[in-house]
Amino acid sequence: MLKDIMVHFDGSAEDDVRLAHAAKLASSLSGPHLVGLYTNPLPEYAYVLAVQSGLAPMEPIIEAEEQLRKIGDTTFADLTQKLAKIAIPGTIRRLDVGASQMVRRGVAEAHWADLFVASVPYQREPILFWDALVEAVMFESGHAIYLVPAASKAPPVLDNILIAWNPTREAARAIAEALPLLKAGRNIRLVTIDAEEDAAPEAPRIVEYFSHHGIDIEVRALAAGKQSVPEILLGEAHSIKAGLIVMGAYGHSRLREWILGGTTREIIEKSDIPLLLAH
Q: How many domains does the chain have?
A: 2
Q: Are 93 and 196 in the same domain?
A: no
**Secondary structure of residue 120 in the 3-state scheme:** coil
> Tens of pLDDT along 164-176?
998 889 999 999 9
Per-residue pLDDT of 136-175, as tens digits, reads: 999 999 999 999 998 888 899 999 999 999 888 999 999 9
Dihedral sign, CA of 122, 177, 182, 201? Answer: positive
φ, ψ of residue 119 to 5 degrees: the values are -75, 140
Task: Write down the pLDDT at residue 44.
Answer: 75
Owning domain of residue 35: 4-148
Sheet holding 275-278, edge to edge: 90-98, 33-42, 4-9, 115-119, 144-148, 275-278, 244-248, 160-164, 187-193, 217-222
C-alpha 69/C-alpha 95 separation (Å) is 11
DSSP state of 155: P
Give the global pTM: 0.90
For residue 189, the domain's CATH number is: 3.40.50.620
Buried b (16+ CB within 10 A) or exposed e, 105-122: bbbebbeebbbbbbbbbe
Q: Of 122, 148, 174, which one is at a domain's C-terminal end?
A: 148
**Co-location of 201 and 254 in the same domain:** yes
The angle at the Cα of 170, spanning 169 to 171, to the nearest 5 degrees, equals: 95
Considering the domain architecture, whether residues 169 and 144 belong to the same structural domain is answered as: no
